[in-house]
A and B are shown apart, each in its own frame.
Chain A
Amino acid sequence: MNSRLIFSIARLLLVARWRQTLVAAVGVAFGIAMFIALLGFMNGLNDLLDGLVLNRVPHIRLYHEIKPNPIQPIELSTGHQNGHNFISSIKSGPAREAIYNEEAILAAVRKDSRVLGATSRITTQAFFNSGVVHISGVINGLDVAGEINLFHFKEYVVQGNVMDLKHAGNSIVLGKSLAALLLVEIGEVVQVTTPNGNRFPLKVVGFFQSGLNDIDKVQSYVSVATAQKLMSRPSNYVTDIYIKLKDIRRAPGLAKTYGDLFHLDAEDIQKANAQYETGSFVRSLISYAVGVTLLTVAGFGIYNILNMMIYEKMDTIAILKAIGFSGKDVNRIFLIIALTIGIAGGACGLLFGFLVSLIIDSIPFKTEALPTVETYPVNYSLLFYLIGAFFSLATTYLAGWFPARKASKIDPVIIIRGK
């Protein structure tokens, strides 16, 4: 009964000052809408930029690093066991680049419930011959199906048919910039010289474009079998295993586990691409800061309007107190007014934020560097909406709290005799 009464009084006061109420609610709605649109857009861009690199990069890469043998021959010599051996000018030896037992490792890794998938790769340097010019590049031998599944390979092949790589022998997908340098078209043949001097003709079946010119200028892709043939290696020769995890944050820990388990070098994505994490973090931070600022400004608007309302409604407050409403009741009336503004403004703000996001999402955005992008990217994460809703309530509650307290402390005697 009491709370219904308090709600009806709050409603009447709100209606009596509906213009100010509307302005306050619009302030909140604007703040929330901008917060949602800004965060959605910023995070959309973040995802896009991170995707440029992170989509194609394994969360964990297992390989043999070229490095000097940790146990040098002198350590094994029985005559030099007692004492320190100083060796100068150590060089890396001709260690085997291939991964032993790659089938078993792949099977073991794929069985791990934390792993989304794993594929094997062969990476080698090569020269592309174009007339008398030799252009250096990198040839990646890959498991085509696995790459399409795990690393979005298909999205980056902008011309030609990616499956030809698998089905046609001696075929190659060239980086778009590399193809431009070599002056080759799809269907033509490109000559490749491997580090051990073998020369191969490979048929170009597609162009690859990542959006990063440095990569497109050197990278090319063949199937694992073709790569093995190029390097005159048996069919179990593999230099890298790429692993994609379900949760990217586990990469450092799992990388260490796998490295120790398989006696391989393991590199996790956080170590390899730390700068991208930092970039996304700073961008998110800026957008949150701007959003919170907008909401705070809206909060001050509510504070002002409630303060005004209290000065205007002194008589009403005094009369309510004189006829038996306690300070707590008056406090609740003004808090309800503030929260009503917050809820209404916040709900409209969330809706408008979503609409603005939709508008941004439909603005054309075409760039050479990003072949897969048609419009400005927007992230519709529910989290932003929850944060927006929470903040609209929190700021309006705080903005209402001080005026409400003031109203509850008003001494009716001063007002009643003050006329």
Chain B
Amino acid sequence: MSNVILECRNLIKSFYDPLELTVLKDISFSVNKGEFISIVGRSGCGKSTLLYVLSTMDTDYSGELLIDNEMVTHQSEQQLARIRNAKIGFVFQFHYLINEFSVLRNVMLPALKLGRFTTKEIESRAMEKLKRVGVGHLAGKNANLLSGGEKQRVAIARAMINDPAIIMGDEPTGNLDSRNAQMVFDIFKELAESYRQTLLIVTHNQAFAENSGRIIEMDDGKIVAK
């Protein structure tokens, strides 16, 4: 049981505007430590919505969610922010680095917020993560000067900085050319295999999904294959 990183029970989520529409229909599954999971499905099947519920950013759902054996449902906004900070790393489709900051500072930010290490230690950890994803030479640059593939790799480094229980990705390769997509996939693969990093990735990319450890397929708000 202690091997379970993330567990959800009977998740139901509905939108009420403009019409009542249930997008997640009684979803239950669990993620074990070290798993590399892809969530696939057609557009509009609710996979991104599911990811945002699992990420604690969307709190308007019914059911229960546990991350690292800690009940997340009904926690305060402050608590959720703390959990996101410490336990979850994010990689989005559109990179989402803060353009005013340097690459290194972007990576350091979640760790500075967490405050577990001194600034010096955080800096060296951030450098190490940047090197691991192959963009160590860009550390001093401003984030808005990077190419799409480079930004995505920096985003992965940022997701790893606090050694999170789980890294979540929303179409992390969706906006990249095939070469960069492959590079990002390789990084994920290496994280999963060498560091037993738990990964939960929403993707459209069939090749990406097939190469991951486990595929969760969704259709019309339900899980059709685990």
A residues with a Cβ closer than 8 A to B are 1-2, 5, 12-13, 15-16, 315-316, 318-329, 411-413, 416-417, 419
Residue of B nearest to A14 (CB): B100
Please tell me if the beta carbons of B100 and A316 are within 8 angstroms of each other in the complex.
Answer: yes
Q: Report chain B residues within 8 Å CB of A321.
A: 57, 81, 84
Interchain CA distance A343-B67 in the complex, whole Å = 44
Stretch from B16-24, B105-113, B204-212 forming part of the interface with A = B105-113
Please tell me if the beta carbons of A325 and B81 are within 8 angstroms of each other in the complex.
Answer: yes
Please tell me if the beta carbons of B96 and A16 are within 8 angstroms of each other in the complex.
Answer: no
Stretch from B26-34, B86-94, B182-190 forming part of the interface with A = B86-94
- Closest-CB distance, A36 to chain B (whole angstroms): 35
The size of the chain B interface, using a CB distance under 8 A, is 31
Between A and B, 29 residue pairs with Cβ closer than 8 Å are A1-B115, A2-B113, A5-B109, A12-B100, A12-B101, A16-B100, A316-B98, A318-B96, A319-B97, A320-B98, A322-B57, A322-B90, A322-B92, A322-B96, A323-B110, A324-B81, A324-B84, A324-B85, A324-B114, A325-B113, A326-B77, A327-B81, A328-B78, A329-B113, A413-B52, A416-B52, A416-B96, A417-B170, A419-B94
Please tell me if the beta carbons of B170 and A323 are within 8 angstroms of each other in the complex.
Answer: no
Please tell me if the beta carbons of A416 and B98 are within 8 angstroms of each other in the complex.
Answer: no
Q: Which of A1, A2, A327, A417 has the most CB of B within 10 A?
A: A417
Please tell me if the beta carbons of B57 and A412 are within 8 angstroms of each other in the complex.
Answer: yes
Interchain CA distance A326-B81 in the complex, whole Å = 5
Interchain CA distance A413-B55 in the complex, whole Å = 10
Interchain CA distance A190-B77 in the complex, whole Å = 93
Please tell me if the beta carbons of A323 and B92 are within 8 angstroms of each other in the complex.
Answer: no
- Closest-CB distance, B152 to chain A (whole angstroms): 14
Quick check: is B141 within 8 A (CB to CB) of the other chain? no
Please tell me if the beta carbons of A323 and B85 are within 8 angstroms of each other in the complex.
Answer: yes
Quick check: is B73 within 8 A (CB to CB) of the other chain? no
- Closest-CB distance, B117 to chain A (whole angstroms): 10
Please tell me if the beta carbons of B96 and A319 are within 8 angstroms of each other in the complex.
Answer: yes
Q: Report chain B residues within 8 Å CB of A5.
A: 109, 112-113
- Closest-CB distance, B125 to chain A (whole angstroms): 15
- Closest-CB distance, B86 to chain A (whole angstroms): 7
Interchain CA distance A315-B94 in the complex, whole Å = 10
Q: Report chain B residues within 8 Å CB of A419.
A: 93-94
- Closest-CB distance, B148 to chain A (whole angstroms): 13
Quick check: is B82 within 8 A (CB to CB) of the other chain? yes
Q: Which of B58, B90, B96, B158 has the most CB of A within 10 A?
A: B96
Residue of A nearest to B119 (CB): A1
- Closest-CB distance, A247 to chain B (whole angstroms): 53
Q: Report chain A residues within 8 Å CB of B158.
A: 323
Q: Report chain A residues within 8 Å CB of B48.
A: 417
- Closest-CB distance, B137 to chain A (whole angstroms): 23
- Closest-CB distance, B145 to chain A (whole angstroms): 15
Per-residue CB contact flags for chain B residues 156-186 toward chain A (1 = under 8 Å, else 0) read 0010000000000010000000000000000
